[in-house]
Amino acid sequence: MAQHLTALAALTFALAPGASEIQLTPAGPVFRSADGSGRQADVSAWRIDAASAERVIARLAARANPLVIDYEHQTLLAEKNGQPAPAAGWFKALEWRDGLGLFAIGVEWTPRAAAMIAAGEYRYLSPVFEYDRRTGEVLGVRMAALTNDPGLDGMAAVALTAALAAFDGVAATPVFQPEETLMNETLKKLLAALGLPDSTPEGDALKAVAALKEKADQAEGAQAQLTAQVAALKAQAPDPAQYAPVATMLALQTEVAALTARIAEGEVAQVIEGALDEGKLSQAQKEWAENLGKKDLAALKAFVASAPAIAALKGMQSDGLPPAGGGGGNAASDADVAVMKAMGLSADEFSKGKD
């Protein structure tokens, strides 16, 4: 079975009567108990410095409840011996002092404990702390106890280990770490997702996560802003002075197209009639001219403007002859008119030729 990465240890410091500040560890960076008590065999010494102490302090600050100081570590032994475990005091804050070590500050003693310390009934404090099995680095303070036995008789490793689960109040930093293999794989996957190599320091990885979260927050804020703008636009009624319904515009376009077509037809007819009167078009060309005018009025106008006026075509397109079937023996038939037009003869010339 794989070993967990953390364990608990204890050591002993002398107490000063009435002290509200108590020492929990020496200054380090390496320290050990004088007789080896309270330390398991997995590390030769414990380690703590200003940087690691800062993490320990932050971890305790994240807890909702203060840590207990009891008598003779009875809190850890209560399940085994069935005895009560009254508190001797409480502390919630830690402080690192260069050259001295880690201290609990603002310690609140119970009246009973304060009296016993003042009377010399208890002379030592034994802190219990969590450490890394691989490096010996102190990871967190778990509790402390008043004791008179620097050797910590009865503080078996199993009792210390039991404190891990009993006193963990920081969900974000579980005391029982996942097994090493699983944790390494998880960290590798996290670093890979961030686009970072496996060797990335913890601080750099945290910065990358923070930057990613900041981008996500910005995107979420922009999305919320756009959503609000769209909702505001939908809630506004359109201005009739600036917008018209599509159906109204389509009907208007249809009316304009029809009116334009009627105007164009009238103008085509006017141009053709004028051209006929001026002798620039013949009746035979009328249908062609109408089709051209419908398709391209400008082209028709250009043709009429450039066409020569033929005197023989002026008037009623019959060169002065009465319409066919209008009476009179000299009335020119449609066929006569067509012949005159084809031969370019006037009515008189055509009549003389017939005679």
pLDDT tens for 112-154 read 999 999 999 998 888 888 989 888 899 999 999 998 875 433 3
Question: Is pLDDT at 339 greater than 70 in this prediction?
Answer: no
User: Most confidently modeled of 124-128, 183-187, 319-323?
Assistant: 124-128
Residues 6+ apart with CB under 8 A from 341: 282, 284, 312, 313
Question: Same domain, yes or no, for 168 and 68?
Answer: yes
Domain edge (last residue) among 178, 208, 226: 178
Domain annotation covers residue 232: no
Whole-number Å distance between alpha carbons of 63 and 173? 10
Same domain membership, residue 148 and residue 64: yes
User: Residue 164's CB: how many other CB atoms inside 10 A?
Assistant: 18
Q: What pLDDT, on a 0 to 100 scale, did the predictor assign at position 207? A: 86
Number of domains in the chain: 2
Element (H, E) at 7: strand 6-10
Mean pLDDT of 181-199: 75
Residue 190: inside a domain, yes or no?
Answer: no
Does residue 64 share a domain with residue 167?
A: yes
End position of a domain, from candidates 147, 178, 209 = 178
Is residue 129 one of the residues assigned to a domain?
yes
**CA proximity to 117, closest of 141, 139, 143, 147:** 147
DSSP-assigned letter for residue 121: S
What was the pLDDT predicted at 165? 39
pLDDT over threshold 50, residue 181: no
Q: Buried b / exposed e across 62-101, counting CB within 10 Å, b at 16+?
A: eeeebbbbbbbbbbbbeeeeeeebebbbbbbebebeeeeb
Task: With a cut of 60, say whether residue 262 has pLDDT above it.
Answer: yes
Residue 286: pLDDT band (50, 70, 90) is: confident
Last residue of a domain, one of 178, 196, 212: 178
Contacts of 25 (CB under 8 A, 6+ apart): 11, 31, 46, 48, 101, 102, 127, 129, 138
Per-residue pLDDT, averaged over 55-62, amounts to: 94
Does residue 204 lie in a domain region? no
94-107: pLDDT as tens digits = 999 999 999 999 99
Q: Do 117 and 250 fall within a single domain? A: no
| Residue 142 confidence (pLDDT) | 93
Q: Are residues 171 and 43 both part of a single domain?
A: yes
298 in a domain, yes or no? yes
Q: Give the orientation angle of helix 283-295 with respect to helix 246-278, to 10 degrees.
A: 150
- Examine the domain organization and report whether 53 and 151 are in the same domain: yes
pTM: 0.43
Average pLDDT, the chain: 76
**Cα 39 to Cα 24: distance, rounded to the nearest angstrom:** 15
Domain presence at residue 224: no
**Stretch 204-232: mean pLDDT:** 86
Range of the structural domain that residue 68 is part of:
6-178
Average pLDDT value for residue range 164-171: 40
Q: How far apart are CA 341 and CA 9, in angstroms?
A: 130
